[in-house]
A and B are shown apart, each in its own frame.
Chain A
Amino acid sequence: MIRFVAVHKFFGALAALTDVNAEVKKGEVVVVCGPSGSGKSTLIRTVNRLEEIQSGSVLFEGRDVHGKLGGAALNHLRTRIGFVFQSFNLFPHLSALDNVMLSPMKVNGVKRSEAREAALRLLDRVGLAAKAQNYPGQLSGGQQQRVAIARALAMEPPAMLFDEPTSALDPEMVGEVLSVMRSLARDGMTMMCVTHEMNFARDVADRVWFMDAGRVLETGTPVDFFRSPQHPRAQRFLSDLHTR
C-alpha cells in the first residue's frame, strides 16, 4: 500500500534519507524505530509529501506521491492518508468537535449534520464524547492527541501515519493514546508508526523497521527483531534500551 523505492533526500549536503526501499502492506502495522535523527520522521513525512524527496519514488496505492501530480490530485491523495503529529497540531480556534468536522465539510463537501454525527461518533470512539465542546487549550495533551486521531479518522483514510504520537506527552497520558492506536490496529487499519514505545512495537506491530543515519537497516517481525537483531547498529540500539 505504501512503497518506498530508492528514496533519497538531502538537506543541503546532509543526506537525510539514503536509498530507502521498503513496503507497508495493506492491513499491516509497521513500527519504525531507531535513534534520534535517524530520519524516521522525515521518512514518514514523505508519504504524504509534507517533505519533498530528491530522487526515487514513494508509492501510495500504486500512485507516485512525488510524481507529476496536480495540486488537486495531491490534496485528494492526502485525504486518503491520515496523519498524526507529535505536537498534535489541533486548530486552537476551533472546539474539539469543529476540529473533527472541519475537513470532511470543507474538503469532502460532507453536509454539516452528517459531519457532526460522524465527528461525535469518532470522539466517542477515542473516549472524548464529553469533551466535544472544549477547545484544545482546555484539554490535556493525551486528550488533544486523541482528538487529533479522531480528526484524521474523520476523512476515512485507508491508512494512518503516526509521527511520534506519544513523545510530547506526560508519561501518565501515553497509555490512553496507545490504547486508541491498539484498537485501530485491531480493526485492521493499515498503520505506519514512528515511535519509541517498544512495548507497543512488540505487541501490535506486524513488522518493525530499524533506521539509522537515513537508512532502513533492518526490517523484520517484532519477535525476530527484538530477540535476534541482525545489524550491529540495531543490536547496540536494543541493548541501550534494555540497560536504561
Chain B
Amino acid sequence: MSVLPSMIEIVRDNWLLLLVGQYPNGPLGGIAATLILSVLGIALAFPLSVVMALASLSPWRALRWPVMAMVYVTRGVPLLLIILWVYFVLPLLIGRSVPAFATMLVTLVGYEAAFLSEIVRAGIQALPTGQMDAARALGHSRLGAMRYVILPQALFNMIPSILSQFVSTIKETTLGYIINVPELTFAAGQINNRLLTKPFEVYFILAISYFVVCWTLTQAINMVERRITMRRTRDLAVSALTAIPASASGG
C-alpha cells in the first residue's frame, strides 16, 4: 500500500473542505477559519495585553493584582480546561448560548493577552531607566511617557516575540476541535470520519498543513528579526563614521 498517492487523492477530493470548510453552504472553516481565529485572537489580544502590562507596572495595587491573578491562572491552567470552562460556564452567566467560534475567540484573546502582557512588560522593563527619567524630567505624566517614549521603543523591540506568539496561537486553535469549532483540525476530523480507514494519511496531511503555515511564518519572523538587527548595527556603523568629522569640527 502506498501512502503518498492515497494522500494526494484525499487532498484532491477534499481540498475545498480543508481550505474553507462547509462554506458557502455552512460556516466558514478549514485553514481560513484557523487563520481568521488566530489573526483576530492576536489582534484583539494585543491592545488588551498593552493595557494589562501597564496595569501590572502600575504603582496602584488595585490595578496590579487582577492582572497578576489572570497571568498566574493562565500560566497554571491548561488552555483546554479554560476552553471547556468558558464553553460551559459563559452561557450560564450571560443566560444564552454562545457560538463555538465566539467561545474559542474569547478564550484565545484572554489567554494570549495574559502571555503577551508578560512579553510587553518585559519589553518595557528592558529599556534603560534613563528613558523614563528623561521623559518625566521634561514634565510628561507616567502615561504620557509610556505612550510617546517607552511603548514605541518597547513594542518595536518586541515585534519578533509577538509574531512567535502568533505562531503559537495558530497551533492553539486546534483545541477548538473539542468544542466543535469548524477550523482545520475539525475539517480533518470530518474527512477521517467519512473515510474511516485512512487516519494515518488524513492526519499526516493535517500535520503538513500546520507545518507549512507555521514554518512560513517562522521564516518571516527570522527575516524581520534580521532586519531589526541590521537596522541597529547600521545605526552604530553610521555613528562611528559621523563621530570623526564631528569631533574635528566641535570643540
Contact = CB atoms under 8 A, between A and B. Distances in A.
Contact of A85 (B130, B242, B250): B130
A8 interface: no
A188 interface: no
A155 B134 CA distance: 13
Interface string A44-83: 0000101000000000000000000001100110110101
The range of chain A's interface size is 35 or more
Given A78-B139, A152-B138, A143 B133 contact: no
Contacts of B144: 106-107
Contacts, number: 105
Contact of B242 (A90, A106, A140, A170): A140
B139 A155 contact: yes
B216 interface: no
Contacts of A215: none
Contacts of A141: 243
Interface stretch (B146-154, B184-192, B196-204): B146-154
A108 B136 CA distance: 13
Interface in B98-140: 128, 130-131, 133-140
A102 interface: yes
Interface residues of B, number: 30
Which of A91, A142, A151, A170 is most buried by chain B, counting CB atoms within 10 A of its CB?
A91
A93 B156 contact: yes
A107 B134 contact: no
A103 B139 contact: yes
Interface in B165-217: none
Interface of A: 48, 50, 71-72, 75-76, 78-79, 81, 83, 85, 87, 89-93, 102-103, 106-108, 127, 134-135, 137-143, 148, 151-152, 155, 170, 172-173, 175-176, 179
